[in-house]
Amino acid sequence: MSNTSSLDVAVIRKDFPILDRMVNGKPLVYFDNAATSQTPKQVIDAIVDYYSSYNANIHRGVHTLSQEATDKYEQARLKIQRHFNAAKPHEIIFTSGTTHSINLVANGFSSLLQKGDELIVSAMEHHSNIVPWQMLCERTGAMLKVIPMSEKGELIMDEYRKLLSDKTKMVFCNHVSNALGTVNPIKEIIEAAHNVGAAVLIDGAQAAPHIQADVQELDVDFYTVSAHKMCGPTGVGILYGKEEWLHKLPPYQGGGEMIAEVTFEKTTYADLPHKFEAGTPNICGGIAFGAAIDYMNAIGIDVIAAYENELLVYATEQLLSIEGLRIYGTSENKTSVISFNIESIHPYDIGSILDKLGIAVRTGHHCAQPIMDFYKIPGTVRASFNFYNTKEEIDAMVEGVKRAKAMLQ
């Protein structure tokens, strides 16, 4: 089956060694991209090159290897700054990923909130953008309010506006739902929050592989991303923060690198971004993240998004041809994620059968249990597509789902 997109998927697939492997005697079909994407040779080569050629600690040595590692690491920061259009390099803080980034901000707000202040979260958040704020409310006495969602899996914006008041200090929501694929109207959310003086954190982990966010155009205060969703390695990500907000927040961790001067009487902290980067970072991960950004930009985020939408439309049509199958998250504005169930069949059972056929999907509540509670289901089967996937692979999945249905009903 031919692809109408300008993307040459056959060539792209050659960049991903793992796509050649067999699973249970079948060619791997990898549809768990919303959990983590696969890694191209170009990024793997950057990792090997670091450990083979210039492995050293950064910012601390005058010797050649340290200087080379420092230069590569800071070049990666610049690549990420340009990709997200941050105003300044030091507004990009390297972290271990989106969860770390959110916790960094939530911890910082402990000193900025008081009893009676209000925080607003959306109903479709990943647990990592719920639990840190609940913990913050327990520490400060602030209250957590929730933007409700519709049956289609869209935020009810009229209700959001009713929640806003001069008591609102922070609003946080995802750019794209990991469970439903819904693209949220974050520009509208940000503007409304700013109108009452509230700060906004956007979880961009699921959006970054499909949408090139311009943090200045969005006027967002904080934006978080994980490298492993963007063809990069696990264990590294970034927090973008407006300079003014990063100056307001206290350091998240104490240790080396984040200090200017230490005595037993007093410690003064380093300037941004080092204030929030205590200890030896994931140097190789940061450099590889830069390589992943280069790789995706060489293809083009818009080209990637167009092709993935093609896959989404095709897979939606094919899956809905199966009697009794229901898709959760039917917003017209969504990324290449399909969550579905078949009548009374448990999603785990479908996922297990698909795995026997070499097809990797995610089953469960996808760390978004409130969404599953809303639909009164234990979880879903989630198929999430990336630009190295094909319509032929979707056909294999659809046949696998049909086979699972015949076996389980």
In the annotation, is 284 catalytic?
A: no
Give the β-pairing of 118-122 and 168-174: parallel
- C-alpha span between 97 and 102 (Å, rounded): 9
- C-alpha span between 87 and 234 (Å, rounded): 26
- Two tokens, residue 239: 């927090």
- C-alpha span between 239 and 201 (Å, rounded): 10
Q: Specify whether the CB–CB gap between 90 and 238 falls below 8 A.
A: no
Strands (E), 152-254: 168-174, 199-203, 222-226, 237-241
Q: Which residues neighbour 133 within 8 Å (Cβ) at sequence distance 6 or greater?
A: 106, 119, 121, 144, 170, 172
Active-site residue (options: 173, 231, 284, 367): 367
- C-alpha span between 9 and 28 (Å, rounded): 16
Q: Specify whether the CB–CB gap between 325 and 401 falls below 8 A.
A: yes
- C-alpha span between 371 and 177 (Å, rounded): 10
Q: Specify whether the CB–CB gap between 119 and 144 falls below 8 A.
A: yes
- C-alpha span between 395 and 383 (Å, rounded): 13
Quote the Cα angle for 70-269-225, to 5°.
55
Residues forming the active site: 367
